Amino acid sequence: MENKQHTVQLIVFQLGDKEYGVPVADVLSIEKIEHITRVPGTEKYIKGVINLRGVILPIVDLRTRFNLPEHPYSEHTRIIITKKGEKEVGLIVDAANDVIDVATSQLEPPPEVVGTESFDYIKAVAKMNQQILILIDLAKVLNIEENVEV
């Protein structure tokens, strides 16, 4: 924020062939995939819970959440541990690639054309060279009903 050109730091991750971003401030760590214990009777996108250094942490599969086809976990699969308010949740992504600085001026509101449901979770899009980076809205992804600052 000290920069005259306001920037946000984003963690870039991949789902299918698209790249997504989530603010570094909301991320606690990035973990390799490990054994997930299924929790019965929960939403389909909640894969279960893991033991992260002694803390039980719920895990959301973003592919399922965004209605993308399921994909077997590979060595690139990562769990991004996020924190929104008091709630800590891990997100399963295909790969977590990079940390980048994006100028706020580069962020644009999501396109109006509503194609799929998953557009709800898009906070903004950023044009990066040839690629388009989708900034996700964590609160909406996690279905946290809170007043999130705009």
Partner 1 sequence: MEMNQYLDLFIEESKEHLQNCNDLLLKLEQSPEDLFIVNEIFRSAHTLKGMSATMEFNDLAQLTHQMENVLDLIRNEKLAVSSQVLDILFLAADYLEEMVESIASGGNGQLNVETVVKQLQSLDGKEQLENVNAPETVQFGKLTYDDYEWTVLSQSKDTDYHPFEVTVQLHKDCLLKAVRVFMVFETLEKNGEIIKSHPQATALEEEQFDFEFTVTILSSNTKEEIEMELLKISEIDAVEIIAIDLSQASEEAAVAVEQVVLPTEKEVEVTQQQTSSFKQQSKHATKTIRVNIERLDILMNLFEELVIDRGRLLQISQDLDHQGLQETVEHMSRISGDLQNIILNMRMVPIDTVFNRFPKMVRQLAKDLHKSVNLEIIGAQTELDRTVIDEIGDPLVHLIRNAMDHGIEKPEERIAKGKSQQGTIILKAYHSGNHIFIEITDDGAGINKDNVCRKAISKGIIKEEEIASMEDQDIYQLIFSSGFSTAKEISDVSGRGVGLDVVKSTIESLGGYVTIQSNEGNGSTFSIQLPLTLSIISAMLVEVENEKYAIPLSSIIETAIIKKADIMKTHNQQVIDFRGKVVPLVSLQSIFEVNDESEEIPETLSVVIVRKGEKLAALIVSSFIGQQEIVLKSLGDYLTNVFAISGATILGDGQVALIIDCNELIK
Chain residues in the site for partner 1 (CB under 8 A): 34-35, 37-42, 46, 48-51, 53-58, 86-89, 142
Q: Determine the Cα–Cα distance for residues 76 and 44; give it in Å rounded to an integer.
A: 23
Looking at the Cβ atoms of 6 and 87, the one nearer to partner 1 is 87
Cβ contact 7:102 at 8 Å: yes
CB of 100 vs partner 1, minimal distance in Å: 28
**124 Cβ contact partners less than 8 Å away, ≥ 6 residues apart:** 107, 108, 109, 110, 135
Looking at the Cβ atoms of 32 and 127, the one nearer to partner 1 is 32
CB of 70 vs partner 1, minimal distance in Å: 15
Looking at the Cβ atoms of 27 and 57, the one nearer to partner 1 is 57
CB of 89 vs partner 1, minimal distance in Å: 5
- H helix runs in 14-123, sequence order: 62-65
Looking at the Cβ atoms of 34 and 120, the one nearer to partner 1 is 34
Q: Determine the Cα–Cα distance for residues 130 and 13; give it in Å rounded to an integer.
A: 16
CB of 54 vs partner 1, minimal distance in Å: 3
Give Cα separations from 74 to 9, 87, 92, 94, 98 (angstroms): 26, 27, 11, 8, 18
